[in-house]
Structure 1
Amino acid sequence: MYQSAVLSVYVDLALGLVVSFLLLSLLVSGLNEAFVRLLSIRSKFLWAYLRDTLDGADAKTGSWLPAKVTDVFRVLPFLRDPRPRHSDRPAPSEPGKMPEPEAKASDSMIKLLYERIQEIDHAKRGRTSIANLPPGRFAVAVMEMASAGNGDVEHFLGKLQQIDSPLYGPLKGIWETSQRDLERFRQGVESWFDGEMQRLSMLYKRYVKWVLAVLGVVVTLLFSMDGLEYAKTLLRDNAFRASVAAVAEAGPDAYDELKARCTGGDPVPCVTETLSQPALVKMMGQAMVSVSIPAEGDPSVLWNGGMWWDRVSTPSHWPGFLLTYVALLFGAPFWWDVFRRITGIKSRR
């Protein structure tokens, strides 16, 4: 009996910590997704890569896709928009012609590519909203561009070489390895672009990790979530529930003891109020701004600036903040998997 009671305490403690870390991790992921969608980061990231791959680096400002993490999130969201202008017209039946070498525009290939795929687009503040380009669609677009003019892949590759497009090297290699077979060439372009998209996705995730790390610090400090203090509060709540249950079973003498612990004449309101505020609600109530839901009346928003600053500026809370921050770095999928393992919930996959 004693061992089962102790095990129950530890399970409650583990579940409480896992649920709190899961909720905060979901908040971090939600803030990141809102930031990405609001500023169209994925779409800009894709088209910056396409500009570098098709047309090359800009003569004045260099690569469209900066190499440094700070430059990516400083340039793409605010300073440079690599996306082409949105067009609500379907792709024309005849592809546009390749530009002459002496009249090469910096975005000539991007215009030709977007011309072939614009039917899958929809407007978003005047710019394209395409954030994912299927490899099969890209391969078909390349084949359509190659059919312009003389309708010969060799002629198309020669034009790419003349305008000094970075796309020439990969396509030339694919054309040679496909032994100049059009179907194998199309499949080769599709496979190559699929690999490039996987590499771009890995690069994007590496940049996003830095954003999630910053958001983790913000959420931890905003809620002043001390993981160690929260664990102690969970244990106190469990002990209080156990004492209340013992009082209910012991009789009037134990009731008098509980009455002595609670200030006031009747311990029932004291017990009710304590049990109605679990540890997670108490910890969330120590955020900079909290919401109070009374038993009667409307909810109210409370400003806890003074109390929040005292907690943040107290060094004894810093180890708990560090514990919460490190837990958030594992991400919501990790904590959801831990929660499933503890509770026995099976995945439907």
Structure 2
Amino acid sequence: MNSVYIDLAIGLVLAFLLFSLLLSGVNEGLVRLLGIRSKFLWAYLKDTLDGDKGKKSIPGTIAEVFSSLPFRRDERPAYSAKPPPVESAATSWTGLLYERLREIDHGKDGKTSIASIPPGRFAMAMMEIVTGEGGVPAMLAKLEAGGSPLYRPLQGAWDTAHGDLDAFRKAVEQWFDGEMSRLTMLYRRYVRWVLAVLGLVLTLLFSMDSLEYGRAILTDNAIRAQVAATADGGAQSLRSLREKCPDHPADPYACVTEVLSAPAFVQMVGHAPVSVRVPDGGSPKWSWNGGEWLQRLISPGHWPGFLVTFFALLFGAPFWWDILRRLTGIRVRAGETGK
């Protein structure tokens, strides 16, 4: 009996893990396709370095991250593979910064694809800008005159350094590191809501009823147990098996073969509006299940299972992988943990 419950637990956890990975893959695909991380970073840099008379480029609401940010005017600098010029042609502080970050960039759709700037690299780029502007005081004066929001943190760093350029560089590095940590937390908070929306869409698209899936796993185990009992009990035991397979009264084993050839997990993902079936020795056959899919969605009996699936996906793939390891005893080699 314990093995039945273990099979049930492993089956559910494995399903949640696979669909969580699918959810993460869809989210990562959208992020890369739309360049959301890179746009998010450069919108922050534009606000911080250049300012825009109170108008912010970085999203202020969750809806803007995946709605207006990917499709509005791209704030990112144009990609260039050239080394930093001796005499800069940039007209903004963001442009000056990008000229010194080209070495870590690679082209994509004509815009920079930089989505993460190491704090040390940012500090060195600022020091290069300082040299080009004639020193820290001269640069701070230009920042103040232009109304750049960057003026206050750099002025504080310069006051703390007491004229020491190396101390100023380290202060700028520490400040930017803190800003990137804050920006990362903000981005993750936005992404959690996006993942919740995608998880709901995925659950409804496949009409994944976890409770129904659990019952299907138990049914598979019950049929296997019945087959084993029939094999030991002889022809007399076929009576109960025939009752489970009314479509094959003469050959109940054919019913068992048909049922177990479509395990519970296959049944779980087979309720999408469009499904595919691959017969033995044949080509894939696509079928439209829109009517059945819609009926499942509006059936209150499936709603608790949909809700369980939705909340399970919110835990994420790492959580379910850890649970699966604990249930199955899978161990990660020490050399792989650091990768």
Quickly name the TM-score band, shorter chain normalised. Answer: over 0.9
| Structure 1: runs of 5 or more not aligned | 1-5, 99-104
Listed as ranges, the matches of 1:63-212 within 5 Å are: 63-92=56-85, 94=86, 96=88, 108-150=92-134, 152-212=135-195
Q: What SS class does the counterpart of residue 276 from structure 2 fall into?
A: strand
Q: 2:270 aligns with which of 268, 281, 285?
A: 285
Q: 1:52 aligns with which of 44, 47, 66?
A: 47
1:332 counterpart residue number: 317
Amino acid at match of 2:108: K
Higher mean displacement: 46-55 or 259-268: 259-268
What's the TM-score, normalizing by structure 1?
0.91
How high is the sequence identity, in percent, across the aligned residues? 58
Q: What SS class does the counterpart of residue 170 from structure 1 fall into?
A: helix
Instruction: Using the TM superposition, give the Cα deviation of residue 267 of structure 1 relative to its aligned residue in structure 2, in angstroms.
Output: 2.4
C-alpha separation between the residues in 1 aligned to 2:198 and 2:214? 23
Q: What SS class does the counterpart of residue 124 from structure 1 fall into?
A: coil
C-alpha separation between the residues in 1 aligned to 2:39 and 2:59? 12
C-alpha separation between the residues in 2 aligned to 1:86 and 1:160? 25
Judge conservation of contact 1:286–1:304 (CA < 8 Å) in 2.
Answer: yes
2:23 counterpart residue number: 28
2:257 counterpart residue number: 272
C-alpha separation between the residues in 2 aligned to 1:185 and 1:318? 59
Q: What SS class does the counterpart of residue 254 from structure 2 fall into?
A: helix
Instruction: Using the TM superposition, give the Cα deviation of residue 133 of structure 1 relative to its aligned residue in structure 2, in angstroms.
Output: 1.0
Instruction: Using the TM superposition, give the Cα deviation of residue 210 of structure 1 relative to its aligned residue in structure 2, in angstroms.
Output: 1.3
Instruction: Using the TM superposition, give the Cα deviation of residue 214 of structure 1 relative to its aligned residue in structure 2, in angstroms.
Output: 0.8
What's the TM-score, normalizing by structure 2?
0.93
For each residue in 1:113-137, what CA deviation from the matched residue of structure 2 results, as whole angstroms up to 9, or x when unmatched? Answer: 1111123222211111111111111
2:308 counterpart residue number: 323
Instruction: Using the TM superposition, give the Cα deviation of residue 66 of structure 1 relative to its aligned residue in structure 2, in angstroms.
Output: 2.5
C-alpha separation between the residues in 1 aligned to 2:177 and 2:320? 31
C-alpha separation between the residues in 2 aligned to 1:235 and 1:95? 73
Instruction: Using the TM superposition, give the Cα deviation of residue 258 of structure 1 relative to its aligned residue in structure 2, in angstroms.
Output: 2.7
Instruction: Using the TM superposition, give the Cα deviation of residue 216 of structure 1 relative to its aligned residue in structure 2, in angstroms.
Output: 0.7
Instruction: Using the TM superposition, give the Cα deviation of residue 260 of structure 1 relative to its aligned residue in structure 2, in angstroms.
Output: 5.3
Judge conservation of contact 1:96–1:145 (CA < 8 Å) in 2.
Answer: no
1:102 counterpart residue number: none
Aligned pairs, how many?
A: 332
Judge conservation of contact 1:95–1:115 (CA < 8 Å) in 2.
Answer: no
Listed as ranges, the matches of 1:229-268 within 5 Å are: 229-259=212-242, 261-262=244-245, 263-268=248-253
Judge conservation of contact 1:95–1:116 (CA < 8 Å) in 2.
Answer: no
Judge conservation of contact 1:15–1:342 (CA < 8 Å) in 2.
Answer: yes
For each residue in 1:296-338, what CA deviation from the matched residue of structure 2 results, as whole angstroms up to 9, or x when unmatched? Answer: 3112122110110111111111111111111111111111111
Q: What SS class does the counterpart of residue 291 from structure 1 fall into?
A: strand
Q: What SS class does the counterpart of residue 128 from structure 1 fall into?
A: coil
Supply the RMSD in Å over aligned alpha carbons. 1.7
Higher mean displacement: 303-312 or 50-59: 50-59
Q: 1:294 aligns with which of 254, 265, 279?
A: 279
1:314 counterpart residue number: 299
Q: What SS class does the counterpart of residue 72 from structure 1 fall into?
A: helix
C-alpha separation between the residues in 1 aligned to 2:9 and 2:133? 68
C-alpha separation between the residues in 2 aligned to 1:248 and 1:175? 85
| Structure 2: runs of 5 or more not aligned | none
Judge conservation of contact 1:292–1:300 (CA < 8 Å) in 2.
Answer: yes
Q: What SS class does the counterpart of residue 148 from structure 1 fall into?
A: helix
